[in-house]
């Protein structure tokens, strides 16, 4: 029996070595994403489209009446060694809104498209198009607790194209520096000007805090391009934080300030706001979340920017929106019933339309969404 031990061990070793050497192109490849749809009904105003539009919040996505589509999202990732690539594709109304500044048909389904290089354990370089680092919420509904989005998310950047460097400073602290095209111009740079971004982060097992900065001219010198008047540089500072306060309660916060220099126009304009994200797990399969948000815009009406839909004589307006959402988990499916109340300083929501439209400053609505993640 002793004579058989060495040959058997050699065979087992050769077999194990052969298995380690065998690789497939699928090694390092992952596919993930989501599919979503929703039903939306106004409680306090009209529920049909008229020549005056349809009453809905001024925030992005989930604003259509009745049964409506979100998007199909497929994220293809491939990594080999210390390099990799990501293609994040979207199709549907939500995806179309997310890539609104794409100028070619082929890029109208591209949410993110980038390559990366893990230069070391502490430095990663990313080159291409990626979703914004500013704000609390993201484009994919699978990563948000609330299905409808905040005003701050809707009027901050969605995406950037450029080069960024992420630094892991230690086990808790991180930093990021980036040079990018103008905000949301992901195909190419039409203005000849560039935007700079930065981030400082602190993370623990219970949560994280990020301070985000953005500065740059978003339209270049339009006078030199024969395109009429242009504006100056945009500056935005943004704070995003969130922590598990207990095993069943989470509290997050987003505060932002964005201003654009007047340039050739009449006055500086922009917005600022703050939102809380309180979420309680009531059981293993159901959670309840409340998002109160205050959002204010200034210098609007004079300039093209108008997030709320109207302003006073000075170009100012504000809105307070409260969103109550449930998350019911059925395996990979999340069902989201949601009540939302938007109260604006101006009468911006269509209230009734019997030949002559009337407007109101408040809008109550109900939404039921289904998000399948894979």
User: pTM for this one?
Assistant: 0.88
- pLDDT, tens digit, 9 for 90 and up, residues 312-354: 888 899 999 999 999 999 999 999 999 999 999 999 898 888 8
Q: Decide if pLDDT at 169 tops 90.
A: yes
Query: Between the CA of residue 312 and those of 135, 296, 298, 317, 347, what are the distances in Å?
Result: 27, 12, 10, 6, 10
Q: Decide if pLDDT at 171 tops 90.
A: yes
Q: What pLDDT is stored for residue 15 in this prediction?
A: 47
Alpha carbon distance 164, 168 (integer Å):
13
Lowest mean pLDDT among 138-152, 223-237, 324-338: 223-237
- pLDDT, tens digit, 9 for 90 and up, residues 62-109: 999 999 999 999 999 999 999 999 999 999 999 999 888 776 666 789
Query: 291: Cβ–Cβ under 8 A, 6 or more apart, which residues?
Result: 145, 146, 150, 275, 276, 277, 278, 321, 322, 323, 324, 325
Q: Decide if pLDDT at 157 tops 70.
A: yes
Structure token pair of residue 48: 């049909």
Please tell me whether residue 94 adopts helix, strand or coil conformation. Answer: helix
- Residue among 341, 342, 292 nearest 317 (CA): 342
Query: 81: Cβ–Cβ under 8 A, 6 or more apart, which residues?
Result: none
- Residue among 179, 199, 195, 184 nearest 232 (CA): 195
Alpha carbon distance 201, 43 (integer Å):
41
Q: What pLDDT is stored for residue 53 in this prediction?
A: 79
Alpha carbon distance 351, 344 (integer Å):
13
Across the chain, what does the average pLDDT equal?
89
- pLDDT, tens digit, 9 for 90 and up, residues 33-70: 999 999 999 999 988 888 877 889 888 899 999 999 99
Q: Which domains does the chain have, with CATH numbers?
A: 32-373 (2.40.160.10)
Q: What pLDDT is stored for residue 16 in this prediction?
A: 46
Q: Calculate ∠ Cα 207-213-215, nearest 5°.
A: 165
Say if CB 319 and CB 58 are below 8 A apart: yes
Q: What pLDDT is stored for residue 232 in this prediction?
A: 84
- Phi then psi for 12, rounded to 5 degrees? -65, -40
Alpha carbon distance 124, 122 (integer Å):
7
Structure token pair of residue 128: 């291409």
- pLDDT, tens digit, 9 for 90 and up, residues 299-308: 875 555 688 8
- Phi then psi for 268, rounded to 5 degrees? -65, 150
Structure token pair of residue 141: 């509904």
Q: What pLDDT is stored for residue 22 in this prediction?
A: 60
Alpha carbon distance 320, 305 (integer Å):
19
Q: Which residue has the higher pLDDT, 15 or 345?
A: 345
- pLDDT, tens digit, 9 for 90 and up, residues 65-76: 999 999 999 999
Q: Which residue has the higher pLDDT, 58 or 149?
A: 149
What per-residue string of b and e applies to 7-34 under the rule 16 or more CB within 10 Å gives b?
Answer: eeeeeeeeeeeeeeeeeeeeeeeeeebb
Q: Which residue has the higher pLDDT, 163 or 97?
A: 163
Say if CB 371 and CB 69 are below 8 A apart: no
Q: Which residue has the higher pLDDT, 201 or 269?
A: 201
Q: What pLDDT is stored for residue 297 in this prediction?
A: 93
Residue 201 CA, chain-centre distance (Å), reads 18
Q: Calculate ∠ Cα 146-201-101, nearest 5°.
A: 55
Say if CB 217 and CB 233 are below 8 A apart: yes
Alpha carbon distance 196, 179 (integer Å):
5
């Amino acid at each position: 029996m002793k004579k058989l031990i060495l040959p058997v061990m050699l065979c087992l070793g050769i077999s194990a070595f052969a298995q380690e050497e065998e690789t497939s192109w699928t090694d390092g490849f992952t596919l993930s994403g989501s599919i979503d749809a929703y039903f939306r009904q106004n409680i306090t105003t009209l529920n049909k489209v008229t020549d005056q539009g349809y009453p809905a919040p001024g925030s992005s996505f989930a604003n259509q009446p009745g049964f409506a589509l979100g998007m199909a999202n497929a994220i293809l990732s491939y990594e080999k060694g210390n390099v990799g690539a990501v293609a994040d594709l979207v199709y549907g109304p939500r995806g179309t809104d997310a890539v609104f500044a794409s100028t070619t048909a082929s890029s109208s389904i591209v949410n993110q498209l980038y390559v990366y290089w893990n230069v070391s354990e502490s430095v990663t370089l990313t080159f291409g198009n990626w979703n914004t680092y500013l704000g609390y919420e993201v484009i994919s509904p699978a990563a948000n607790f609330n299905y409808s989005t905040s005003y701050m998310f809707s009027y901050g950047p969605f995406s950037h194209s450029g080069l960024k460097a992420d630094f892991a400073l230690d086990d808790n602290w991180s930093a990021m520096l980036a040079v990018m095209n103008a905000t949301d111009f992901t195909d190419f740079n039409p203005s000849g000007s560039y935007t700079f971004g930065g981030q400082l982060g602190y993370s623990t097992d219970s949560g994280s805090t990020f301070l985000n900065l953005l500065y740059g001219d978003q339209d270049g010198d339009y006078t030199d391009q024969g395109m009429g008047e242009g504006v100056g540089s945009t500056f935005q500072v943004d704070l995003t934080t969130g922590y598990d306060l207990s095993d069943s309660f989470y509290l997050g916060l987003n505060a932002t300030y964005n201003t654009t220099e007047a340039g050739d126009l009449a006055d500086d304009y922009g917005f600022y706001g703050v939102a809380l994200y309180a979420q309680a797990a009531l059981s293993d399969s159901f959670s309840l979340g409340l998002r109160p948000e205050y959002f204010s815009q200034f210098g609007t009406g004079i300039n093209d920017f108008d997030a709320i839909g109207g302003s006073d004589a000075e170009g100012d307006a504000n809105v307070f929106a409260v969103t109550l959402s449930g998350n019911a988990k059925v395996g990979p499916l999340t069902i989201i019933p949601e009540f939302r109340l938007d109260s604006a300083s101006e009468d911006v929501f269509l209230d009734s339309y019997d030949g002559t439209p009337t407007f109101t400053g408040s809008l109550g609505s109900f939404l039921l969404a289904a998000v399948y993640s894979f």
